[in-house]
A and B are shown apart, each in its own frame.
Chain A
Amino acid sequence: MSGHFGRAGRRGFAVGGGYLLVAAGLAVLGVSGALSGLRVAHSFAFHPGLQDALNEIDNVLAVAGAVLVVATLTAVGLVKVGGFRSPRVAQVDSWSSREFTDLGRRRRSRVRSVLVAVFAGGIPVVASAGVCLAVLTTSIGTEVSSGPNRPIVAALDRLAPGGELVVGFSYAMPMVEDAVSLPLVSRIEAAAGARGVGSHVLRLDLGSLSSSAGQYDILGVGVSEPAGSPLAWSAAQGCGDISAAVDRAAGIPAGSSVSIDGSPVRVVAVTSGLSATNRIGVVMDQAAMATCLEQDPSAPVQAVVLDTSAAQARLILAAADRGAEPAVVVSRARYLANSEKFWTSNVKPITNILALVSGLVALIAMAGAVNGRLLRNRREYASKLASGVSIGVLRSTELLRAAKDGLVASIIGSILGLVVVPLTNMTEPGFDAGVSEKDILVGCAVGLVGCLGGALLRTARLDRTVDVAESTRI
C-alpha cells in the first residue's frame, strides 16, 4: 500500500517538473521569438495546375451542394411520408430525432418539439459554424477576385453601353494610361453620328476625395453627360461648380460637399456598384474631370464606346481618319478581359482552400459528435442490438439524423452568413461582398458532407463502439 502511494507520488513529481520545464522554455522562446520576428516558412514554387484545380473547387462544391440539398430533402421527406404507411420507417424517423438518454432534461419545450418534428431535435452548432464560414470565405473570395474590376464592368454596362470600343492601343494596360486624343474623339463621334451610331466617351481617373467623413481613394468615371442631366458640366461653370454621383460605399449622402483632387464637388446623387475594393467610384462629366481634376482640358480620353458591330466600328474609325495616332477597335469582351487581367487579384484558390478546411472541420466535428452520441447512448444502443435490432437499422437512424442535422446546419449557417458577410464590408471602403446562391450552395455542401460524412465514418464500426456484451452488463 505504502509502496503504491510512494511510486505514484514520485512519478507525479517528475511529470509535474517536466510540465514546469516546458512552460519555462516556451516562455523564454516565445518572448525572444516574438521580438526577433521568428517565422517558419518554406517556399514552394507556384504551381499553375494546382491553382487551376483549386480555382474550380467552389464551382464543384456549389454543384455538390445543390445535388446534396435536393437529395437530402427528398430522402428526409420520403422517410416522413413513408412513415405514414410503414411503422418501421416511422420508428427510425422518431429515434433519429431524439437522444435516448435524457441528459437530465425533465421538461418538454415547444421549440424543441418543433425541432423534433421537423429536424433532429437539436442544433448542430459546429456544423452551422462550418457552413457560415464556408459561405463567408466563398463570398469574400468572389468579391476579392471580382471587386477590383467591378466599376469598369458597371461603367460599360450603365454609363457607356455599346458593343465595341476604340482605344489607343489594344494591349495598352493599365487602361487609365490608354489614350485617344480629343480631336480624334470628335472625328469618331462625327463619323458615328453620320451613320446613326451612338457613341460614348469613357474617361477614367485615379484620384482622392476628402470629405468630413474622411479621405478615400477614388476611381473617377467620366462620361459625356447630355445637357440637362444633373451631372452635366460646361467650361463656363468653372471648377468651383462640379456635380458628381458618389458610390454608396463611401457612405456620403447626397447634398454633401466634398473635395476631389483639390476641387470642390457637390454630391448630387448616390450611385452603386461602381466601387472597386479600396477605390470609391465617382461619376461626373468627363469634361469637368479633364479640366478640373486632371487640370488639362485637352487631356485624351481612355476609350470611345461605339454602339455597333466590330465591322461597323472599324469603318467608323477608318472614316474618322486617325492619321498617325495609334487607335484600334477592340470588343467590349476583350477590353473587359484585359482589364480583368490587370485588376483582378486571384485569391480564389486561397479562399477555396478555406472553404474546404471549414468543410473538413465540420466533418471532423460531426464525426466527433456522432461518436459522442454513440458513447453517450451506448447502453441504449446495446440493449437494442441485443434485442434483435439490426445494425443496419441503427446505422440508418444515425444517417437520417445526420441528414436532418446537415439541413439545419445549412439553414442556420446560411442565415448567419447572410448576416456576417455584409459586416465584412465595413472593413474596407468599396468592398462589396454579398451572398450569392452559389455561396450558399457551397455552404450547404460543407454542412451536408460534414454531417453525412461524419456519421458514415462513425457508424461504419458501430458494433465496435457499442460493445453489446459490455454495455448491457450493470
Chain B
Amino acid sequence: MTRRTKTARLDPDPASSMSGRGGVAAELVGVTKTVNATSILDGVSLSVRTGEVVLIRGASGSGKSSALRLLAGIDSPDEGTVRLLGVDLAGVVPRARSKLIRDRVGIGFQDPLLDNALPVIENLYGLARVNGRFSEHRRADRERLAWLADTLRVAHKLHGLTAVLSGGEKLRLALGRALMARPDIVLLDEPTHMVDSAGKKALYESLAAIVAAEAVTVIVVSHDDEARGFAHREIIFDRGRAFPA
C-alpha cells in the first residue's frame, strides 16, 4: 500500500515514459476503495497509453466515475497505485497535483459545472487563463479559442449568458473548457449525459475532430453507442471491477 507523504515532490516515475506515443499516460494498479463499508472499487487495474482514446462502459453504479476521479486526483484510493502522466499521485503534495492538472490535464465532470452567471466565452477561457495557460495577447491562444468555439458549435453564443444555453451546448462548452489549455490527457465523465441522440453525435464528432488534430489522450466514461466508433478501445466496469471488452 502506498501512503501519501507531505514532503514528497512531483517525481516522475522512471518506469513509465512521460512522452511519446506508446508510453503509459494513465494507470490504475490494484486499486480498491470502500465508502461507508461498501466496496466501490475492488482491485481495479487499467492502463491507457499516450495518444489512446479509451471508452469506459458499464452499468450505472459500477464504479466508472469513482475510477476516473481517482485518475484525476480528486479522490484517493484505499489501496493500490494511481499514476497519471508518469506521476504517482499518492506521492505528491496537493500543490504538485494542482500544478500537474492545470498544466497537462483536462477534466470534464459528469455535471458540466459551468459558471452560469458568466458569459459563455469566459467559461471557455477563464480556467485556462487563471492557470496561466491562456493569454488574450497571444494570437495562437485567440485562434485556438475561436477554433474550439467553432468546432464545438458554440461560436454564435459566445457573448451570451451561459445560464440560457441548452443542455447540449453546456456540455460542449464544458468540453471546450477542458481542452482549452492544450492538455496532454482529458478525463471525461459522461460528457453527453442527458442529451438526445443527435446532441451526442454532434459532441462525439466534435471531439473526434479535436482528437484527430491534437493527438490528445482521451479517457471517456460513457454508455452511449454514439461513443463506440470514436474510441480505439473499451474497458468494461462491473460491480467495482474492470475488464477488457
Scan A67-100; emit 1 where CB is below 8 A from any B CB, else 0.
0000000000000000000011011101100111
Decide if B136 is an interface residue (CB 8 Å cutoff). Answer: yes
Contact B109 A91 (CB under 8 A): no
Q: What size tier do the contact residues of chain B reach?
A: 35 or more
B74 contacts which of A103, A105, A469 (Cβ < 8 Å)? A469
- Chain B residues lying within 8 Å of A91, measured Cβ to Cβ, are 126, 129-130
Minimum C-beta distance from B228 to chain A (A): 24
* Most B-side CB within 10 Å, residue of A98, A106, A385, A386: A386
Whether the Cβ atoms of B113 and A380 lie closer than 8 Å is: yes
Which of A100, A108, A384, A388 is in CB contact (< 8 Å) with B99? A388
**B residues in contact with A468, CB < 8 Å:** 74
Shortest beta-carbon distance, B4 to chain A, in Å?
Answer: 14
Chain A hits for B135, CB < 8 A: 87
Question: Are the C-beta atoms of B130 and A88 separated by less than 8 Å?
Answer: yes
Number of interface residues of A (CB under 8 A): 33
Report the separation of the CA atoms of residues A468 and B107 in the bound assembly, to the nearest whole angstrom. Answer: 13
Q: How far is the CB of B150 from chain A (nearest CB, A)?
A: 22
Which residue on chain B has the smallest CB distance to residue A393? B130
Q: Which of the candidate stretches B41-49, B116-124, B204-212, B236-244 sits at the interface with the other chain? A: B116-124
Q: A106 touching B110 by the CB < 8 A rule?
A: no
Contact A388 B117 (CB under 8 A): no
The minimal Cβ–Cβ distance linking B148 to chain A, given in whole angstroms, is 16
Does residue A109 face the partner (Cβ distance < 8 Å to B)? no
B163 interfacial contact with A, CB 8 Å: yes
Q: Let me know if B130 and A389 touch, CB within 8 A.
A: yes
Q: How far is the CB of B94 from chain A (nearest CB, A)?
A: 8
Q: Say yes or no: B95 contacts A472, CB within 8 Å.
A: no
- B113–A388 touching, CB < 8 Å: no
Q: A283 CB to closest chain B CB, in angstroms?
A: 62
Q: Which partner residue on chain B sits nearest A379 by CB separation? A: B113
Q: How far apart are the CA atoms of A468 and B136 in the complex, in Å?
A: 29
* Closest chain A residue, CB of each to CB of B123: A100
Q: Does the CB pair B74–A390 fall under 8 Å? A: no
Could you mark each residue 119-148 of chain B with 1 if its beta carbon is under 8 Å from any beta carbon of chain A, else 0? 000100011011110111100000000000
CB distance from B214 to the nearest CB of A (A): 18
- Given contacts A101-B117, A105-B117, whether A94 and B126 have CB atoms under 8 Å apart is yes
Q: Please give, as numbers and ranges, the residues of chain B lying within 8 Å of A388 by CB-CB distance.
A: 98-103, 105, 131
Contact, CB under 8 Å: B161 / A106: yes
- A324 CB–B CB distance under 8 Å: no
CA distance A106 to B117 in the complex (A): 8
Cβ–Cβ contact B116 & A101, under 8 A: yes
Q: Which residue in B111, B127, B132 is a CB contact (below 8 Å) of A387?
A: B127
- Contact check: which of A94, A108, A380, A383 meets B122 at CB < 8 Å? A94
For residue A393, which residues in chain B have a CB less than 8 angstroms away from its CB? 130
B115, A106: Cβ atoms under 8 Å? no
| Residue from the list A88, A98, A103, A385 in contact with B118, Cβ < 8 A | A98
A residues less than 8 Å from B136 (CB atoms): 87
Alpha-carbon gap, A386 to B137, bound state (A): 27
- Decide yes or no: A380 and B74 within 8 Å by CB, A102-B163, A388-B105 being known contacts: no
- The minimal Cβ–Cβ distance linking B186 to chain A, given in whole angstroms, is 11
Q: Are A87 and B137 in contact (CB under 8 A)?
A: yes
Contact A469 B137 (CB under 8 A): no
Task: Evaluate contact between B129 and A90: CB separation under 8 angstroms.
Answer: yes
A215 → chain B closest CB, angstroms: 61
Q: Is A473 close to B, CB under 8 A? A: yes
B95 touches A390 (CB 8 A): yes
Provide the residues of chain B in CB contact with A95, threshold 8 Å. Answer: 126, 130
Minimum CB distance partner of A471 in chain B: B113
Q: Cβ of A472 and Cβ of B74 under 8 Å apart?
A: yes
User: Which residues from chain B contact A469 at a C-beta distance below 8 Å?
Assistant: 69, 74-75
- Chain A neighbourhood of B98, CB < 8 A: 385, 388-390
Contact A387–B101 (Cβ < 8 Å): yes
B65, B95, B126, B162: residue with the most chain A Cβ atoms closer than 10 Å = B126
Given contacts A380-B115, A472-B111, 6 further A-B contacts (CB under 8 A): A87-B135, A87-B136, A87-B137, A384-B127, A389-B98, A472-B113
Q: Which residues of A contact B (CB under 8 A)?
A: 87-88, 90-92, 94-95, 98-103, 105-106, 108, 379-380, 382-390, 393, 468-469, 472-474
Please list the 9 inter-chain residue pairs (A to B) with the smallest Cβ-Cβ separation, ordered nearest first: A388-B102, A388-B101, A383-B113, A102-B116, A100-B115, A102-B163, A91-B130, A102-B117, A91-B129
- Ordered by A's residue number, 20 sampled pairs between the chains whose C-beta atoms are within 8 Å are A87-B129, A87-B135, A88-B132, A91-B130, A98-B118, A101-B116, A102-B161, A102-B163, A106-B164, A380-B113, A382-B113, A387-B131, A389-B127, A389-B131, A390-B98, A393-B130, A469-B74, A472-B69, A472-B113, A473-B69
